[in-house]
Structure 1
Amino acid sequence: MVMSACSNGNGEGEKKYTVPSALCEIKADPKLIDPFLPGGDSLAVKSSNPNGGTKRCDVTVDGKIAVREILVWWGDRETVATVAAAYAKTDDGKVTDDERYLYSGVGAVGKTSEACKSTEHPDQDLYGVVQVFAAGRSDPEAMKELIAAYIQGLEASAECG
């Protein structure tokens, strides 16, 4: 899916695209994703399933990956820090007081609520991961907001049976 329109976002160069309100069927607030996207002419969103417990959503600007959102099922005894260790862009991340989120300026991991379960993934919890690949886009506070919103989107989706 390619979107083209004007955007008044911040960043290097003009953004001549519109960020959709859902990324790979997960509700998303375009204002929360915008700080991590570079200027450019077109934005595309592509989903993939690298394995049975993982779904990836790549957001590209002018053909280059800018942001990746991942939903992944992990064992129910894991922590956000354990999950983060498996993903780039989460190094030196801070863990929130409630231990549901770990975030850095360019990456984050969040854990869905205990109510989020799937018959396809018994004894596992659903985690969300956000990675930013666009250069010069580090913003820890914006990332903290984005991962919290992404987790809310996952909890409201069909993924949480």
Structure 2
Amino acid sequence: MMSKKGCLATVAAALAFVLSGCSGGGSDGGTVGYSIPKSLCGVAVAPKLLEPFLPAGKQLAVKEDEPVADVITTCELSIDDAVVVSIERERREPGASPRDIAVNQLNVGNPEESSTGGYVYSDRIAVSVVRCDSPRAVAEDLSSIVKVLKPGIADKSAMKSFIASYTTAYKKQQPCRDENGSPAPTAP
């Protein structure tokens, strides 16, 4: 018969073995065999802000593209060949609000809005707009649309944190430009 101390050691070892198979688990509780990127479309992203959307899987891939040069940039993050997060940045005519884009272009029913009005979000979609209306900048808006696609995991709170952080990091890159294509400050 095993002593109480020996029994506890055996249980602890078994539990450690089981938990080691789950370390780095996806938001859905499964095992993960991939590393989360630290940037998407050239914008720094804290992996912990992206993790809540990602299901378990073995392989993560990021595909970046510029389908319309100098106008649209896209990133697709796939887990085991299934796209789970999509980001599209677009240079557009000034005036559209994040809510307009979310409701009219993406059919989001009733998105939550940030206190500044700079972004809106739901559990699967977020939209932010950076205004380039400083005196030196070309008058345009820069929108970012983030979509979580199935089998990605919907999470409204995580989406709010992600879009706020992504937009702040994007603004720090001075994405607005002057007539010569050089960086110009964003509006305050």
- Same fold judged by TM-score > 0.5? yes
Alignment correspondent of 2:186 = none
Q: Taking structure 1 as reference, are residues 19 and 98 closer, same or farther at Cα in structure 2, changes over 3 Å only?
A: same
Spell out the pairing of 1:3-82 with structure 2 (5 A cutoff).
7-52=24-69, 53-82=71-100
Whether the aligned pair in 2 keeps the contact of 1:113 and 1:155 (CA below 8 Å) is no
Alignment correspondent of 1:86 = 105
Instruction: Answer with 1 or 2: which has the greater Rg.
Output: 2
Alignment correspondent of 1:135 = 151
Q: Which has the higher helix share?
A: 2
Q: What do the CA deviations read for 1:20-79 (whole angstroms, capped 9, x no partner)?
A: 111231101100111101110000001112224111110000011000111112222111
Residue 110 (str. 1) matches residue 128 (str. 2): yes
Alignment correspondent of 1:3 = none
Whether the aligned pair in 2 keeps the contact of 1:37 and 1:134 (CA below 8 Å) is no
Which residue identity does 2:164 align to in structure 1? Answer: A
The percentage of aligned residue pairs carrying the same residue is: 27
Which residue identity does 1:128 align to in structure 2? Answer: S
TM-score between both structures, scaled by the size of structure 1: 0.83
What's the CA shift for 1:9?
A: 3.8
CA RMSD across the alignment: 2.4
Alignment correspondent of 2:12 = none
Q: Which has the higher strand share?
A: 1
Unaligned runs of 5+ in 1: 1-5
TM-score between both structures, scaled by the size of structure 2: 0.72
Which residue identity does 1:148 align to in structure 2? Answer: A
How many correspondences in the alignment?
Answer: 153
Which of 158, 163, 170 does residue 147 from structure 1 map onto?
Answer: 163
Whether the aligned pair in 1 keeps the contact of 2:76 and 2:87 (CA below 8 Å) is yes
Higher RCO by CA contacts (8 Å cutoff, separation 6 or greater): 1
Unaligned runs of 5+ in 2: 1-22, 177-182, 184-188
Shifted more, 10-19 versus 106-115: the winner is: 106-115
Runs (4+) off by over 4 Å: 113-119
What's the CA shift for 1:105?
A: 0.3
Residue 157 (str. 1) matches residue 157 (str. 2): no
Q: Distance in 2 between matches of 1:45 and 1:99?
A: 29
What's the CA shift for 1:115?
A: 6.8
